[in-house]
Structure 1
């Protein structure tokens, strides 16, 4: 019997939506990428990729119940309330370039090619609707470190009918999301989750715990939606942070979110700690994306709808020794590392990876 956990209250609306539309239902869409005009309440109305319950049998989930157990599970962990020596940084970069685009989503719609709205994929070159932990692990990648065969993806961006792709390696941070950065441990192999929700309203996007500064271009920032105009020569930017506390039991759950949680602020302090329900501190992923588009932005949109429908997916396929070395040296070690695990402000600490971005 697999361990179960109830859906958190904030996801109840999505679960009910799935019950009305049918899990995995795809709404009829118009235009490239299936975007629709947003109704008056600010929602996109698109159901091509949601955090509602959607399950299907796959190699990773043979019975198709949506719960993929961690083997072995991580139990007996208590959230750390310790306050280690202050370090302003505890991070490294795992920068990855775009590989391809496709209307696929191996987390929400496993084994169902063409079921999702269009996504822009980074990292693993082979990611498709049928991708599994085994198919991704050890695969070719556009990430700086060859050991990072993880798959990263987000809704594709359009300007009118033209698809706009980020150019070059995109900045993907691995940070400490909790105050006790020394308690952070590597992702378990095969962990996957969705950050955000394409059905969220503008207000929900602004209030999302992963919000950093919203959409940016030129001197305009903290925008909930894509700005109407961007200065010539500027780029459209967006940063969004992922939850970093894990329940230790599941690599995925039916809603693709409830096995993960954001840290909480400890009462009476400014310390961030994991909740008791999700006691295992993992790296906090932060997407820092840049699209080469400027000028009149009135026709710029996401495949899933308006700018506030932004969300992204992560499917971990790092080689374990390399990820542990990077996390231990940079995150636990309180450094500001580049993609090789080198902090230019502390050259005496050395680097984790060699000049080929490989573990010696």
Structure 2
């Protein structure tokens, strides 16, 4: 996919042109979490972060993220939002850990790791027939929680990649066998908003999920959360291929991957979002009937890759580790 253009990627994303699909390179990998642990330096576990360089430990909700950032790792240069998830590690038979690298999704060129982001109006086949209200400055939300011990949220799933284009089947827990092209982690956020609160104490109660998983039409929004917002989703491609030697796996044959908060089942996977589109750019896109003529500004892969931030937390995250970052012996 080297040299593949953003325009070509978007054109191939779907013939209906009913959604935004774009890549964002890695902005930073460090222990910061301005939603769940605002101001904590460091936060409890490691995150991989994409989007605008306004990201920091606090992220004051009264400040427009789009006004604070000066660059973004995302293909749409007006998107200064931040998106983040936990980080995947391989746990070897001897008990040591190694961070799993990321690679870009298909059709997105040579982005530096990162994720693929989706904003759907309805699904992959239609713009729908209802107003989609873009998020407002100061809006934030999470999906999933590290404390979850069952795979009840249909929007939080994994795919064992046979090749870079594999999309099914999906599982609620980590794949149990070596995956030829890595593991894709999938996070679908709820798309019904209460229309009043830009956040809530648990970062989830101001939202309501009527989706059934996958990129399909969600059910009608309830009276308690009547405002339809874009269906936000992330896909992260974790390159587990260097760890497919089963002689390194646990002696009992169980799968060896853990999230950075020591979750070996995968049920606790979670994602965080802070809105930061410039001006009315996202609303214009959601109002558009044609993805390719929505007027959104784009930037090159090189420009996306060049946007970074300095680490606030400096620690070894890439060597073979005896403990996960932030975890005690």
Q: Which interval holds the TM-score relative to the shorter structure?
A: 0.5 to 0.7
- Show the counterpart of 1:309: 268
Larger RCO: 1 or 2 (CA < 8 Å, sep 6+): 2
The CA RMSD over aligned residues, in Å, is 2.6
Match of 1:113 in 2: 41
Shift of 1:96: 1.1
Report how many residues are paired.
Answer: 246
Following superposition, the deviation at residue 241 of structure 1 comes to 1.0
Question: What is the aligned partner in structure 2 of residue 326 from structure 1?
Answer: 285
Name the SS for the 2:187 alignment partner.
strand
Equivalent of 1:187 in 129, 135, 141: 135
2:236 match: secondary structure:
strand
Q: Cα deviations across residues 149-181 of structure 1 (Å, max 9, x unaligned)?
A: 111000011113221242335211001358945
User: Are the structure 2 counterparts of residues 176 and 209 from structure 1 closer, same or farther at C-alpha, using a change threshold of 3 Å?
Assistant: farther
CA–CA distance in structure 1, aligned partners of residues 72 and 224 of structure 2: 34
Other structure's SS at 2:24 match: coil
In the superposition, the TM-score normalised over structure 2's length comes to 0.67
Distance, in Å, in 1 between the alignment partners of 2:58 and 2:65 is 10
Q: Which sections of structure 1, spanning at least 5 residues, go unmatched?
A: 1-86, 336-340, 343-349
Residues 271, 186 of structure 1: alpha-carbon distance in 2 compared, 3 angstrom cutoff: closer
Match of 1:34 in 2: none
Are positions 1:216 and 2:160 aligned together?
A: yes
- Alpha-carbon distance between aligned partners in 2 of 1:163 and 1:271, rounded to the nearest angstrom: 35
- Residues 89, 107 of structure 1: CA spacing in aligned structure 2 closer, same or farther, 3 A cutoff? same
Tell me the residue number matched to 2:102: 166
Aligned to 2:257: 300
TM-aligned CA deviation for residue 88 of structure 1: 6.3
- The answer to whether the Cα contact below 8 Å between 1:111 and 1:129 also exists between their aligned partners in 2 is yes
After TM superposition, the score normalised by the length of structure 1 is 0.62
Query: Alignment partner of 1:327: what SS?
Result: helix
SS at match of 1:323: helix
For residues 310 and 355 of structure 1, the distance between their equivalents in structure 2, rounded to whole angstroms, comes to 30
Does residue 256 in structure 1 map to residue 192 in structure 2?
Answer: no
Match of 1:98 among 26, 37, 49: 26
Please tell me whether residue 236 in structure 1 is matched to residue 183 in structure 2. Answer: yes
